[in-house]
Structure 1
């Protein structure tokens, strides 16, 4: 199982890397659109939508994503997404609300659309910027997984995701801090294409990294709760060892809007 999981992760990393660095910009735009369709299909499944409703929703998501790229509604949607994750989701987790059907489909718009817009905005800041920010989540998630397996004793949210532990959270934070410090050192040495962004943010770079880790854990927990309410283990089965695409982008849905808005408000890199 672990071998399959690692192999799938490697293939995904290669696909993302090739699309960003060795393909025309249209390829990345097409990849993001494809992910939006796939994620919309899975989210509608979690909402217990029937087949034709899932098809309609899977097409609605990329349509709204494309429309939003050309209008000022994008800013409002991304700001609303940040409020949703920072304010509403913690309360949601505490109260353990259960929704399905049309209300859950509406929530899906607030979860998925800002993710697509953020992927586009951050890519405009630079391919390495986008990849480096996503890597914060990949590294922290992997550190949490292995730290939790080795030393995990204190459950983070047993009613939502019994496998997650506070020891895993500590491992995620430590790994992300080391990762952020490496970029900080490279930026100070002036030998990285990430230098403009890290220098522009200053010490705020570490605040951004820690914010991404915290929201990433929250995004993971939120999707786990939605799956638990739907009575499924994974959002889909298209990615061997990982489940569905939502299982891979759950942390990104909560964190990328924060990263995009933070850079945007500070005037870009």
Structure 2
């Protein structure tokens, strides 16, 4: 299993890094659209669609909506903001659903509801990344959100293994602990402090940076837990086996699907870029 994970990672890493940082414009949007479309194919299974034609049809729908969002960018500039704000509402609702699981499943157990939730998860993540490419320091924004999420994962792993005692959401993801959450958050914020010191941030910028990073990290955890909740309801361990040793695409990007739109909205609220 370890050998398989390493081989898959070595193949995917240069593809992912090249796609994120070397591509621009329509090609970048198409690259991210492909990732989102694969995620949609996986999500259809979590939503209760077992047949391949049905899963492919849902993936095609998501691909078509991605294309429409891209084409509508010039004529309907408010649409990107609407997509991101809908994502914010969904992730706030997801907190309550995760806390209330399994009782909360009656609110979203219907297949059409779960398919609609998939749109609220996947489309805003695509939209946020496309916006980052149009804003100042484009690639660094992508690096920033990824580092925050990855640092939180690493910190949570080691803190959870060392100090983990109290379960964070035992009915959703028994392996996660409150101590792991605190460790992941602390590690991410430590990185923010280091960046702020290197860049000479003013005190007010430190406060904004730390609060914003904390919000991004905490909601990235909700993204992870939400996917775990849907997988548990569907009775599956991984979203698919597209990535040998790593599960599926959704298993790799679940935290980012929440972190990216939140990060985009926070940057926009501070005048970083336009929607």
TM-score of the pair, normalised by structure 2: 0.86
Structure 1 stretch displaced more, 69-78 or 120-129: 69-78
Q: Does 1:74 align with 2:80?
A: yes
- In 1, distance between residues paired with 2:113 and 2:269? 31
Q: Does 1:106 align with 2:111?
A: no
Distance 2:203 2:60 in 1: 40
> 1:18 matched to which residue of 2?
18
Paired with 1:174 and 1:150, the residues of 2 have a C-alpha distance of: 15
- For residues 78 and 51 of structure 1, what CA distance do their matches in structure 2 show? 30
For the residue of structure 2 that corresponds to 1:162, the secondary structure is strand
Deviates more, 1:144-153 or 1:40-49: 144-153
Answer whether contact 1:115 1:257 (CA < 8 A) is retained.
yes
CA distance in 2, matches of 1:256, 1:200: 23
Partner of 2:125: 115
**What is the aligned partner in structure 1 of residue 171 from structure 2?**
159
Note the residue ranges of structure 1 that are not aligned, 5 or more in a row.
Answer: 190-197
Query: What is the distance in 1 between the residues matched to 2:203 and 2:36?
Result: 32
8 Å CA contact retained: 2:238, 2:247: yes
Contact 2:145–2:259 (CA<8 Å) still a contact in 1?
A: no
SS state at 2:200 partner: helix
What is the Cα-based RMSD across aligned positions, in Å?
Answer: 2.2
**More displaced 10-residue stretch of structure 1: 200-209 or 115-124:** 200-209
2:99 touches 2:169 (CA, 8 Å); kept in 1?
A: no
CA deviations on 1:110-146 (whole Å, 9 max, x unpaired) are 1111111011112222111111211110111122122
Secondary structure at 1:203 match in 2? helix
Distance 1:143-1:202 versus aligned 2 partners, 3 A rule? closer
Q: Which 5+ residue runs of structure 2 have no aligned equivalent?
A: none
SS in 2 for 1:159: coil
Residue pairs, 1:1-269, within 5 angstroms: 1=1, 4-5=4-5, 8-9=8-9, 11-23=11-23, 25-49=25-49, 50-69=51-70, 70=73, 71=76, 72-86=78-92, 88-96=93-101, 97-98=104-105, 99-125=109-135, 126-188=138-200, 202-268=206-272
Deviation of the 1:182 alpha carbon: 1.8
Contact (CA 8 Å) 1:187, 1:199: kept in 2 or not?
no
Relative to structure 1, is the Cα distance of residues 262 and 104 closer, same or farther in structure 2, using a 3 angstrom cutoff?
same
